[in-house]
Amino acid sequence: MEDLARLGYGSRVEALFAPLADQGFEPARVTRLDRGMPLLATAHGVVRAELAVHLMKSAPGIDTRLAVGDWVALARPEGHDISIVEAILPREGTFVRKDPGAETTAQVLVANVDTVFVVQSLSGGGVNDRRLERELVLVWESGATPVIVLTKADLVDDPEALAAPAREIALGVDIIIESAVTGLGLEQVRERVPYGQTAALLGSSGVGKSTLVNKLIGEDVLETQETRAGDDKGRHTTVTRELFLVPGGGVIVDTPGMRGLALWDSEEGLSVAFADIEQLAENCRFGDCRHAAEPGCAVQQAVEDGELTPRRLESWQRLRSELDALEARRDQRARAEKKRADKVMQREIKRFQRERGR
């Protein structure tokens, strides 16, 4: 049980699992998905498992069903050398983006996370504020708490000055200035992954996510690779999401650097990340004001009065439009599906009437 608690098996998961424990299942946590086969941490070490047939049927690919960080119920059938995932527990704190390969589906990146480290490098141009805003929207939406980690402080002259743009954007979010070389900020990061909790890393390739995980776990378990000389861009060294134990702490999930992070169902996240605009908007004349050319717009007024930067408003509008476009595509799909279903229904009704008429 001790080992399960380390993995984040707290009272919430225990309560969810109770009926499954009664049925003889064993709790386990997904640490990695390996070409269709989940790797799981249990109280008795790491095991490989297969997904039960009834779970396979409910979705096309394993990645759409299971995510790293998921808690599952495992069965070990007599005479089988491989365990079977029989149930997936409801998630809390799920990091989701729009599936880059599909128009209207979501992709779960990590499940059951308490803290997401939003990682950016101070070197090579400093903070990318647009990306930071987007990442914060997604993290707030997930239900996890974001913490910004600005890496490679050893490579720049004035880390504090370079961190300033992040402070402006990240309302109410802690910022840690870090260096894997000098050890600056490492303790602050470690404190954010206490025993029983789960953290995940998010950020572009080459910012130093795996390097940071190696420092936390005290061993060079993860492969890291130098960034390109000219522009400090990474080479996509990490290719899979994986969960690790932090000695004396909780667990941390390393992720591959992601180029695109499209929003998904991020209404709530947008409101929290842009709480300043949200608050101003309470005084707009129209409830659904987009703060563009509407009369009586309190947000436009704030820009005119110099209380809000035009850039901040532009960011909000860009993210807002992305959400609107996503919703429109989903509505369109829903309408098309309804039309198809209606046609089938019509045909059924006609057939029924014909048969009755006989």
Which spans of this chain sit near Mg ion (rule: CB under 5 A)? 209-210, 237-238
Q: Does 179 bind ligand GTP (CB under 6 A)?
A: yes
Is 28:49 a contact under the CB 8 Å cutoff? yes
Task: Judge residue 100's burial from the number of C-beta atoms within 10 Å of its C-beta, 0-12 exposed, 13-18 middle, 19 or more buried.
Answer: exposed
Between CA 358 and CA 337 the distance in angstroms is 32
Least distance to ligand GTP from the beta carbon of 123, Å? Answer: 7
| Cβ-based nearer residue to Mg ion, 142 or 210 | 210
Tokens in use for 134?
A: 């987007």
Dihedral sign for Cα atoms in the order 253, 113, 86, 62: negative
Between CA 326 and CA 15 the distance in angstroms is 36
Between CA 89 and CA 75 the distance in angstroms is 14
Between CA 321 and CA 316 the distance in angstroms is 9
Q: Which does residue 297 bind out of ligand GTP, Mg ion, Zn ion, none, counting CB within 5 to 8 angstroms by kind?
A: Zn ion
Least distance to Zn ion from the beta carbon of 278, Å? Answer: 11
**Where does this chain touch ligand GTP (CB under 6 A) — which range of 49-57, 60-68, 99-107, 236-244?**
236-244
**Where does this chain touch ligand GTP (CB under 6 A) — which range of 76-84, 102-110, 200-208, 294-302?**
200-208
β-bridge partners, 344: none
Site string for Zn ion, 270-299 (x = CB under 5 A): --------------x----x-x-----x-x
Q: Which does residue 252 bind out of Zn ion, Mg ion, ligand GTP, none, counting CB within 5 to 8 angstroms by kind?
A: none
Between CA 44 and CA 210 the distance in angstroms is 26
Q: Does 237 bind ligand GTP (CB under 6 A)?
A: yes
Residues that bind ligand GTP (CB under 6 A): 151-152, 154-155, 179-181, 203, 205-211, 224-227, 234, 236-238, 256-257
